[in-house]
Structure 1
């Protein structure tokens, strides 16, 4: 089978790593890929959002399956584009159609979906310039801290959590005024939920589903969960507080009504459902949905899948997921993200990376890297994810931290306290 993976990050390198282990794989392409995917597949210099170029490539190379990594092409309707084309509609696309991708493309859409299908979540209001006063009034009914979310895609950074009421009101006005561009023309104000976060990853063929694994990621740049939000500084799977009783509640109250909701709303969903949860007491509440695998959670979830990943994707495409026997590794996997100096604010690219070949106890997933003059150099804010297996969180983390020290580039930064709240 010939497979094209769309994307260039750590998630896509993890996909390529897992797919390349399958006997069913004949040829693997990644567009545009990075220095890590180059070792496993053929990188193709195509923007995943340039659907016409993707179309030409898929037809030229007789691609059988397209796995969409990032959210942008899905929200922009790449699956619909394939289905509307006589020559492309037989190609399997792993990723939802545009209508269902609004679950990530619009926070307001997702909240409305949850309300409609009785899925537990926090109180909220959606605010635009037209009802700004209503926003101020709703903030006054809430207790601090105040949560403001850009409705649209903002690269994982369109969320503010503010302690002071007046500051929250001012920030609401600034967001609507363009703080996050068009993404915050609508702002969703949410009640703050106090608990511990985790993410649950579900794969669906539109009717059947499999729960892949749960993970916990660390979004803040600073140790002790301080500082600015990032795309993610590390992750751990499994999460010990997500015990059988809790996960049973997640399945009954969240996963089943979500998958059923897609069918009731006639919004076809084929692919990965990322469910961001808050465990409040012993109960799950949904914070957000994403319509693809998370990053860096993919770098701990995929290593735990013992089954043939391409066979799993084929089962999704053939709508036979209920017949697939998913096997997970019971060991803990941890990943630590090495980031560029200055990230998540201004940072430089093009820094030479060394020491990757010295890593023996971990899997090195490239995120923001590229090849230049036969060297691997930095090409993004989040540069490399270092994933390790262990019988315990501590043993896995020790390997990841030791391996992180072996990899060098100017300005390298990483959190040394991943998992601090799970010990």
Structure 2
């Protein structure tokens, strides 16, 4: 099978790294890829926003199976266009991708099928949003309705902070994604993520993970696309897991099918574990980033048959096997991220780090001859296995400390919640 992965981040390098291990794969391409994916696949210089160019590249390279990584391409309907060209594709439909592309779409689905989530309001003008804020008070959560690269969410602890977030959205800080705003109640609890595969009917649960969204230690600083993660998340015990499947995941998959927009892909449920049980924070219609990196490190099964079964409606009867180890990833990001940051600085010390328990996934990198250069906000994902979260963390930070990159930074406390519980 000739496979093409779409995307250029750490998630896509991790997917390519795992797919490359499959005996079913005879050739692997990543479009456009990065400095790390070039080590396990052939990078293709393709503008992935140009669906015709993606299809042409797939046909030129005799691709049998396309795996779409990024949220923007899911929401833009790349999967639909690739399938229309006669190529098998792992990617939810554009209609199903609204679960991520529109927060108000997901909220309406929750209302219709009694899926527990935060109370909310949706607003298309600043005055109405501010009026609602003043009736609710703080703490409160302000979200751009559309995609914003993980940065369109403000957990406001004061009315003033919420005001600023609302004004930012309507002043164009997030482009068209902020043309409407969803304002939610602040939910107390611990966040955790649950991943499942579905072909629209059958559901195959994958695993859990916990992400770290804030830029700095102690969960401080601005929201980012994610500064690190670990998997599995033991806080998600069997009782909570079963409750989430019964009250959130199953009603979502059934509801999407009832609406005539069956969900076929990986579904990533961001959850808040509240005193009243798990509640949905948001859905993502793709593998998380950086959660994908820890999941690929832990997965013992060949991933290709699973992805292909989702894409062909044959998931029933499939299973997945995981390593007993925990996996933890630490993001090294460019100084200034998630704000303005520079590109082009040299990174040294990455080569030779990979071993049986440590892998460096590349996100925002490119190669200039023998030099590895930073080419994005989140740049490297140092990912390790361990018998405990603490051991995985120690191994990951050993890798971080071996990398010489003065223009980058990393949080030093990834996994802190679970490590506190382990001691």
The answer on 1:319 being equivalent to 2:313 is yes
The corresponding residue for 1:125 is 121
Equivalenced residues, count: 417
What is the Cα deviation at residue 136 of structure 1?
3.3
* SS of residue matched to 1:272: strand
2:16–2:41 Cα contact (<8 Å) kept: yes
- Alpha-carbon distance in 2 for matches of 1:380, 1:174: 23
What is the Cα deviation at residue 162 of structure 1?
1.8
Q: What's the TM-score, normalizing by structure 1?
A: 0.95
The answer on 1:397 being equivalent to 2:393 is yes
1:367–1:380 Cα contact (<8 Å) kept: yes
- Alpha-carbon distance in 2 for matches of 1:138, 1:105: 23
1:121–1:286 Cα contact (<8 Å) kept: yes
Give unmatched runs, 5+ long, in structure 1: none
The corresponding residue for 1:276 is 270
The corresponding residue for 1:227 is 221
- Alpha-carbon distance in 2 for matches of 1:169, 1:139: 8
2:118–2:279 Cα contact (<8 Å) kept: yes
* SS of residue matched to 2:141: strand
* SS of residue matched to 2:221: strand
* SS of residue matched to 2:222: strand
* SS of residue matched to 1:365: strand
- Alpha-carbon distance in 1 for matches of 2:160, 2:218: 26
2:382–2:399 Cα contact (<8 Å) kept: yes
The corresponding residue for 2:281 is 287
More displaced 10-residue stretch of structure 1: 331-340 or 140-149: 140-149
1:358–1:406 Cα contact (<8 Å) kept: no
What is the Cα deviation at residue 82 of structure 1?
2.7
- Alpha-carbon distance in 2 for matches of 1:45, 1:115: 43
- Alpha-carbon distance in 2 for matches of 1:169, 1:158: 14
- Alpha-carbon distance in 2 for matches of 1:136, 1:342: 30
- Alpha-carbon distance in 1 for matches of 2:337, 2:328: 21
What is the Cα deviation at residue 47 of structure 1?
1.7
The corresponding residue for 1:185 is 179
1:31-110 matched pairs, under 5 angstroms: 31-84=31-84, 88-89=85-86, 91-110=87-106
What is the Cα deviation at residue 193 of structure 1?
0.3
Change (3 A) 1:311 1:174: closer
The answer on 1:328 being equivalent to 2:325 is no
* SS of residue matched to 1:80: helix
What is the Cα deviation at residue 168 of structure 1?
2.4
What is the Cα deviation at residue 46 of structure 1?
0.4
What is the Cα deviation at residue 138 of structure 1?
2.7
What is the Cα deviation at residue 141 of structure 1?
3.7
1:246–1:282 Cα contact (<8 Å) kept: no
Q: What's the TM-score, normalizing by structure 2?
A: 0.95
State the superposition RMSD in angstroms.
1.4
What is the Cα deviation at residue 170 of structure 1?
4.9
- Alpha-carbon distance in 2 for matches of 1:230, 1:167: 17
What is the Cα deviation at residue 190 of structure 1?
0.4
- Alpha-carbon distance in 1 for matches of 2:160, 2:403: 45
For 2:142, which of 148, 155, 170 is the aligned residue? 148
